[in-house]
Structure 1
Amino acid sequence: MQRAPERLSSGEIAVWRKFLRAHATVVRQLEADLLGAHSLPLASYDVLVQLVEAPEHKLRMTELADAVLLSRSGLTRLVDRLEREGLVTREACVSDARGLFAVLTQAGYDRLRSATGTHLRGVSELVVSKLDPEDLAALDRAMDKLLS
C-alpha cells in the first residue's frame, strides 16, 4: 500500500481548489436555473432522472440513495417532498417487507421533461461550450480515474 503524502505542493493544492470552485459554481448555477424556471431543486431533478432511467421507473430507496449520493435519511426527506408534490410514490417491495421502492409518477415524468431542456442548456453553457473536444476527452479520462 502506498503511503499518502503528508503535504501537497502549492500547485496540487491550487488544482484541488479550482476543482472545488468549478464544481460549486456549476452546481449553484444549475440549481438556480432549475429553481427559477421550474421550482425544482437540482437534487430533486437528479432523483427524477435516476427514476426515469430505471427499469419500470422505480428503484429501491437504498439504490436511489447511492445513485444520487445522499444519505438514506436525506433521501427519505427528499422523497417525502417529491411524494407530497405528486412526482413520486412509494411502493412496498414484495420480496422484502422492509424494502420500499420510489416510483416515478406521470406528473414526475412531465416535470422532468419540462426541466430537462433548462438543465441541458445549463450543462452546455457552463461546461461543454467552454471545452474543446480534447479538453472534454481529458476531463472524461480524469473523471474515470477519480471514480476508480
Structure 2
Amino acid sequence: MRRQQLHDDDVTLYGLFVEAFSRLKPLVHRDLGVPDTWFEVLLRLGRTPGRRMRMTDLADAVAFSSGGFSRLADRIEKEGLIRREPDPDDRRAALAVLTSKGGEALDRALAAHVTHLRAHVTGILPPEDRGHLERILRTLRDANR
C-alpha cells in the first residue's frame, strides 16, 4: 500500500464527507411517518410547479434506476400518496402527481424533518458556513451530473 495515498488530504476530506452524511441521515430522517425514499419523492413533487413530474425525470432526481423507481412509485401510489397520469406532451410517458393525501403526508414529514435539520445541521453552523456549504454542495452536484 502506498502510505502517502492512505493519508492523502483528498481521501480524508471525502471520508469526512461520507462519515458526516452517514451520521446525519438517520438523525434528519427520523419520525417522518414515511420511508425516507418516499419522502424524497414527495418532496420533489411538492417543490415542483403543478406538483407533477415525468416519471423518468423524478427517477433521475431521486437517483433511482427507472426499474427500481417504478417499483418504488407502485408502493407510494398504492398508499394513495401519488397517482400516475398520462403525459399530455408525450403519450409514451407518464407523470407522477402528488395527491392531496401525499401533500398531507409531506407536510407532516417536513415538520419533523425541519426540526431535525435545525437541531443537527443548520442550527450548529454559523450563517457564513451555511452559505459556504450550500455553494460547495451545489458546485459538487452540478459538476457531476
TM-score range (shorter-chain normalised) is 0.7 to 0.9
The equivalent residue for 2:13 is: 15
Q: Give the number of aligned pairs.
A: 138
* CA distance 1:73–1:26, change in 2 (3 Å): same
Q: Is the 8 A contact 2:81 2:100 kept in 1?
A: yes
Q: How does 1:76-115 map to 2 (within 5 A)?
A: 76-115=70-109
CA distance in 2, matches of 1:30, 1:140: 17
Amino acid at match of 2:127: P
1:30/1:42 contact within 8 Å kept = no
- How much does 1:60 deviate? 0.5
Aligned-residue sequence identity (percent) comes to 35
Q: 1:50 aligns with which of 20, 44, 52?
A: 44
Output the TM-score relative to the length of structure 2: 0.86
CA apart distance, 1:95: 3.0
The CA deviation string for residues 90-116 of structure 1, in whole angstroms up to 9 with x for no partner, is 111233222011111110011111111
Long gaps (5+) in structure 1: 1-6
Question: Larger deviation: 76-85 or 52-61?
Answer: 52-61
Tell me the SS of whatever aligns to 2:30: helix
Q: Give TM-score scaled by structure 1 length.
A: 0.85
Structure scoring higher RCO (CA < 8 A, sep ≥ 6) equals 2
Report the Cα distance in structure 2 between the residues aligned to 1:93 and 1:139, rounded to whole angstroms.
37
Deviation by residue 1:68-97 (Cα, 9 ceiling, x = unmatched): 122112211111111110101111123322
Given that residues 52 and 109 in structure 1 are in contact (C-alpha distance below 8 angstroms), is that contact kept between their aligned partners in structure 2? yes
Give the ranges of 4+ consecutive aligned residues of structure 1 lying more than 4 Å apart after TM superposition.
none
Pairwise CA distance, 1:8: 7.3
Structure 1 counterpart of 2:89, one-letter code: S
Aligned residues: CA RMSD: 1.6
5 Å matches for 1:1-148? Answer: 7=5, 9-34=7-32, 38=33, 40-147=34-141, 148=143
